[in-house]
C-alpha cells in the first residue's frame, strides 16, 4: 500500500525554529532569575510577531477540502514526525517494519508534570501520534476511535526511552498497542483503536502559496 501523507512538508526554517524554541523553553523554565538574554529574546519575539502577523494567517482555518481555494493557512503534514516542526510536540525517531515499529523519544522539561516526571496527558498525545505515524507508513490509517492509557511506572524527563508499537488489522478496524520502556521496564502502554480510511477519499490540500 502507498505511504500516507496529508498536508505539505514543513519548511526547513520551521523545523529549525521548532527545535530551538523547544530547547530554549527548557532553559527558560530552569532559570533561577531574570536573565538579560531572556529580555532580549522577548524583544526579538515581539518584533517577529509584529512582522509575521500580516504575512501568515495563523488564525485562519487550514486550506483543505472545500476551503482549499480560499484564504487560510497552509496545513502541514500530520502523518508523521510532528515534533520536527512543532515545538509543542517532542522529537522522536520511529522505524517501521510491517506491523511492528520501534523507536526512541526523550521528553524535555516543557512536558513536566510531577517533579521530574512527564505529564500523563503528553504521553497520551505522543503515543496516539506515534501510532498514526506507524499506520500511515504501512499505508493503512484512519481516525482514532478510542485510546486507553495505562500508567505502569512514572515516566522520567530528559531520559532516552524506547517505544514499541504492534498493530493488528481486522477488516477496517486497526488495533495498536504502544509502549514506552526504560531498559526492559514498561512505563506506560496504550491500546489505540482506529477505523481505516481511504487515502483516495482524503480532501484536497492546498499547496504552499507565495508570500504576500
pLDDT at 174: 97
Task: List the grid coordinates of 183.
Answer: 531498559
Handedness of CA 152, 156, 157, 162 (dihedral sign): negative
Q: Which strand ranges, in their side-by-side order, compose the sheet holding 173-182?
A: 92-97, 100-105, 161-170, 173-182, 185-196, 142-151
pLDDT at 94: 98
Q: How far apart are CA 159 and CA 170, in angstroms?
A: 36
Has this prediction a pTM greater than 0.95?
no
**CATH class of segment(s) 12-201:** alpha beta
Point out the least confidently predicted range of 58-67, 95-104, 127-136, 156-165.
58-67
Q: Which residues contact 158 (CB under 8 A, 6 or more apart)?
A: 106, 107, 108, 109
Domain ranges of the chain: 12-201
| Mean pLDDT of the 66-95 span | 89
> Residue 23 is inside which H or E element, if any?
helix 12-29
Amino acid at each position: 500500500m502507498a505511504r500516507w501523507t496529508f498536508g505539505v512538508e514543513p519548511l526547513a526554517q520551521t523545523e529549525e525554529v521548532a527545535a530551538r524554541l523547544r530547547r530554549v523553553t527548557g532553559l527558560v523554565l530552569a532559570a533561577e532569575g531574570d536573565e538579560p538574554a531572556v529580555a532580549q529574546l522577548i524583544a526579538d519575539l515581539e518584533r517577529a510577531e509584529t512582522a509575521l502577523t500580516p504575512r501568515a494567517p495563523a488564525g485562519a482555518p487550514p486550506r483543505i477540502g472545500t476551503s482549499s481555494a480560499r484564504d487560510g493557512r497552509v496545513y502541514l503534514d500530520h502523518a508523521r514526525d510532528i515534533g520536527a516542526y512543532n515545538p509543542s510536540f517532542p522529537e522522536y525517531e520511529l522505524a517501521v517494519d510491517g506491523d511492528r515499529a520501534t523507536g526512541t523519544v526523550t521528553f524535555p522539561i516543557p512536558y513536566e508534570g510531577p517533579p521530574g516526571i512527564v505529564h500523563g496527558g503528553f504521553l497520551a498525545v505522543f503515543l496516539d501520534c506515534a501510532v498514526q505515524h506507524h499506520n500511515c507508513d504501512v499505508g493503512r490509517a484512519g481516525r482514532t476511535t478510542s485510546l486507553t492509557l495505562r500508567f505502569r511506572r512514572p515516566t522520567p524527563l530528559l531520559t532516552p526511552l524506547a517505544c514499541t508499537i504492534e498493530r493488528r488489522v481486522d477488516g477496517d478496524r486497526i488495533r495498536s498497542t504502544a509502549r514506552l520502556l526504560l531498559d526492559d521496564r514498561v512505563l506506560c502502554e496504550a491500546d489505540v483503536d482506529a477505523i481505516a480510511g481511504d487515502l483516495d477519499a482524503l480532501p484536497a490540500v492546498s499547496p504552499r502559496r507565495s508570500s504576500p
